[in-house]
């Protein structure tokens, strides 16, 4: 199988501090890759690399066989732990924005029929994440769980090749986290997503992932701890790509936002 995302001998260094060393990784289409590891093991650096927020010091990151430009683009969606949504836009506006960007490069917004069409598509996506009743709220009026649902809808409206999650459920309480696990698993199936998730929560990593990658330092120099970087110390395939969901369902069933 052709890899969707490949990292080839990737190093990330800040000055003389080595964060990641010799990372080789192939992520297949449809995989749900969980990345775990202790604090400071370069989990977030790895994510920023895939996101295009940073370029590797050495090595190559390939998406669909093409080297990544060191800039974020619409082929990669992202959900951060916090600050992923725009506080000055309503829920609907937050999701519609993603459709307005490519369609209106100069006006930066859509009008009339094009706007209604974009809003209808955004509404459908919001219903899929369970926010169908909250279209006109501002993020500050919603709970943390609802804001993360919004951030996911916002990312998915772009149909990204790969969805990056940076501890997306870290700030949520356990009950809501379980709801969100259900949601992300369902969306992953329904939209045939490829997901890379960074998490602190080992249980979460194993519950959601089809593959778990543990980052840590292989070597340690007590006199210069910063001179050795982290790399993948365990790479555990858990299960194959998801069984395609029964086709007849044309549209994902909305779940109610209980949080």
Partner 1 sequence: MRLINRHFSKRDRLIAGGAPIVLLLVIYLIMAAARHAANPSDKILPLPGGMFTAMAGLLTTPDPLSGHLVFWADTLASLQRLGLGLGIATLFALVLGLLIGAIPPVRATLSPLVTGIAVIPPIALLPILFIALGLGETSKVVLIAIGVAPVMIRDIAAHVGSLPREQIIKAETLGANSWQIIARVALPQAMPRLLQAIRLALGPAWVFLISAEAVASDIGLGYRIFLVRRYLSMDVIIPYVAWIALLAIVMDVALNALSRRAFPWAHGDAR
Q: What residues make contact with partner 1 under the rule CB under 8 A?
A: 51, 53, 71-74, 76-78, 80, 82-89, 97-98, 100-102, 105-106, 108-109, 138-141, 151, 154-155, 158, 160
For residue 174, the minimal CB distance to partner 1 (Å) is 24
Residue placing its CB nearer to partner 1 in the complex, 21 or 167: 167
For residue 234, the minimal CB distance to partner 1 (Å) is 29
Residue placing its CB nearer to partner 1 in the complex, 98 or 209: 98
For residue 125, the minimal CB distance to partner 1 (Å) is 13
For residue 24, the minimal CB distance to partner 1 (Å) is 25
Rounded CA-CA distance 89/137 in Å is 9
DSSP code at position 112: H
Residue placing its CB nearer to partner 1 in the complex, 101 or 255: 101
Rounded CA-CA distance 74/155 in Å is 9
Residue placing its CB nearer to partner 1 in the complex, 24 or 141: 141
How far from the centroid of its chain's Cα atoms is residue 115's Cα? 27
* Residue 179: strand, helix, or coil: helix
For residue 77, the minimal CB distance to partner 1 (Å) is 6
For residue 23, the minimal CB distance to partner 1 (Å) is 21
E-only strand ranges, the chain: 3-14, 17-28, 32-36, 58-63, 66-67, 76-79, 162-166, 195-198, 211-217, 230-237
* Residue 84: strand, helix, or coil: coil
* Residue 152 contacts residue 184 (beta carbons within 8 Å): yes
Rounded CA-CA distance 124/226 in Å is 48
Rounded CA-CA distance 173/179 in Å is 10
With a CB cutoff of 8 Å and minimum separation 6, the contacts of 43 are 35, 36, 37, 198, 215
Among 236, 219, 240, 237, smallest CA distance to 228 is for 219
Residue placing its CB nearer to partner 1 in the complex, 82 or 186: 82
For residue 157, the minimal CB distance to partner 1 (Å) is 8
């Amino acid at each position: 199988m052709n890899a969707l995302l490949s990292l080839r001998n990737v190093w990330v260094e800040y000055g003389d501090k080595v964060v990641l060393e010799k990372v080789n990784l192939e992520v297949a289409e449809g995989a749900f890759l969980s990345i775990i590891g202790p604090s400071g093991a370069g989990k977030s650096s790895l994510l920023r690399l895939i996101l295009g927020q940073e370029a590797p010091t050495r090595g190559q990151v390939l998406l669909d066989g093409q080297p990544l430009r060191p800039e974020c683009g619409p082929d990669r969606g992202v959900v951060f732990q916090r600050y992923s949504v725009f506080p000055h836009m309503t829920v609907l506006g937050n999701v519609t924005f993603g459709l307005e960007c490519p369609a209106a490069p100069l006006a930066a917004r859509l009008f009339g029929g094009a706007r209604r069409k974009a809003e209808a598509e955004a509404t459908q996506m919001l219903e899929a994440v369970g926010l169908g009743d909250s279209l006109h709220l501002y993020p500050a009026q919603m709970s943390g769980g609802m804001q993360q649902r919004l951030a996911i809808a916002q990312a998915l409206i772009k149909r990204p090749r790969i969805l990056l999650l940076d501890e997306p459920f870290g700030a949520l309480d356990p009950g809501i986290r379980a709801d969100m696990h259900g949601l992300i698993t369902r969306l992953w199936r329904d939209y045939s997503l490829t997901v890379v998730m960074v998490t602190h929560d080992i249980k979460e990593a194993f519950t959601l992932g089809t593959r778990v990658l543990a980052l840590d330092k292989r070597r340690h120099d007590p006199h210069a701890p910063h001179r050795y970087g982290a790399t993948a110390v365990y790479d555990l395939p858990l299960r194959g790509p998801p069984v395609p969901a029964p086709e007849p369902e044309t549209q994902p069933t909305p779940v109610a936002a209980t949080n």
